[in-house]
């Protein structure tokens, strides 16, 4: 066997359509993470209530 070919990595070929799908997934993931962040923030405020300010400044 030709040693130079032994460690050749088979790379996926990204077509334009696949790139488009990847972008749509990435955007959806970004929005989901932003939404989750906002939710955690809002729930934290609700749970802590007025105590949210009760910390050493």
Partner 1 sequence: MSDISIASTKSPEATHPNTGSARDFFELLKPRVMSLVVFTGLVGIVVAPGSIHPVIGFAALLCIAVGAGASGALNMWYDADIDARMARTTSRPIPQGRVNAGEALGFGATLSVASVVAMGLFVNYTAAALLAITIGFYIFVYTMWLKRRTPQNIVIGGAAGAFPPMIGWAAVTGSVSLESIVLFLIIFMWTPPHFWALALYRRGDYEEVNVPMLPVVAGKRETRKQILIYSLLLVPVTLAPVALGFAGAIYGGSAIVLGLVFLTLAWQVWLTGEAGDEDKSDARAKRLFGFSIFYLFMLFALLLVEQVAGLFVPVALI
Residues that bind partner 1 in the complex, under the rule CB under 8 A: 1, 5-8, 10, 12, 14, 18, 20-22, 24-25, 27-28, 39, 42-43, 45-46
Cα gap 27→23, rounded to integer Å: 6
- The CA-CA-CA angle for residues 45, 47, 50, to 5°, reads 65
Q: Which is nearer to partner 1, 47 or 57 (CB)?
A: 47
Q: Which is nearer to partner 1, 11 or 57 (CB)?
A: 11
Q: How far is the CB of 41 from partner 1 (least distance, A)?
A: 10
């Amino acid at each position: 066997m030709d040693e130079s070919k032994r460690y050749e990595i088979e790379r996926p070929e990204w077509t334009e359509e696949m790139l488009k799908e990847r972008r749509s997934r990435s955007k959806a993931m970004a929005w989901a993470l932003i939404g989750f962040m906002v939710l955690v923030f809002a729930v934290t405020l609700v749970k802590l209530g007025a105590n949210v300010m009760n910390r050493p400044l």
